[in-house]
Amino acid sequence: MFNTKISQQALDSIEEFPDRWNQRVYHGYISILDSPECATSHCWLGWCDVHLGNYDNDPESLVYGKTREAMGLTKEDLLIFTSMSNSLSRLKLLHKYFTERNTNPEAVFGVDGFDEEGRPFSIHRNIDVF
């Protein structure tokens, strides 16, 4: 079952700290301009790591398998969520879809059911893999 609570916490962190969100890196260091300090950036899954307590401040820490299981995602689902091209609005749509799928595991189509042209909408269409 999709871990709605942790996903929402990750989305909240992305909104609260947009400068520390980078969908292209799992965990990575970023340089803050005009400051000697560095910070850590995370993709959506990286933020899930943080909220699950799996992240130990080591950007090389690869606990994504453990986090994937804790999030209730299949390997295919993980590829959808971790696509480097995901915008925040797409991540929110995925969160909503997977949350609704918790109550209807047989759901095939996206949240609205149809795209703007009236065709069945599937989140599995047009996805990138890294």
Mean pLDDT, residues 63-90: 86
- 105/115: higher pLDDT: 105
Three-class secondary structure of residue 101 per DSSP: helix
Place of tokens 């095939």: 108
Q: What CA–CA distance (Å, rounded) separates 104 from 86?
A: 24
pLDDT tens column, 111-120? 445 444 444 4
Share of the chain above pLDDT 90, in %: 18
pLDDT at position 125, please? Answer: 47
Query: What is the pTM (predicted TM-score) of this model?
Result: 0.73
The dihedral over CA atoms of 84, 90, 96, 97, expressed in degrees to the nearest 10, equals -70
Both tokens of 24, joined, read 């292209």
Contact between 5 and 102 under an 8 Å Cβ cutoff? The reply is: no
pLDDT at position 76, please? Answer: 83
The phi-psi region of residue 126 (left if phi > 0; otherwise alpha if psi is between -120 and 50; otherwise beta) is: left
Q: If we measure between CA atoms, which residue out of 89, 98, 109 comes closest to residue 71?
A: 98
- 26/94: higher pLDDT: 94
Q: For residue 7, count other CB atoms closer than 10 A to its CB.
A: 26
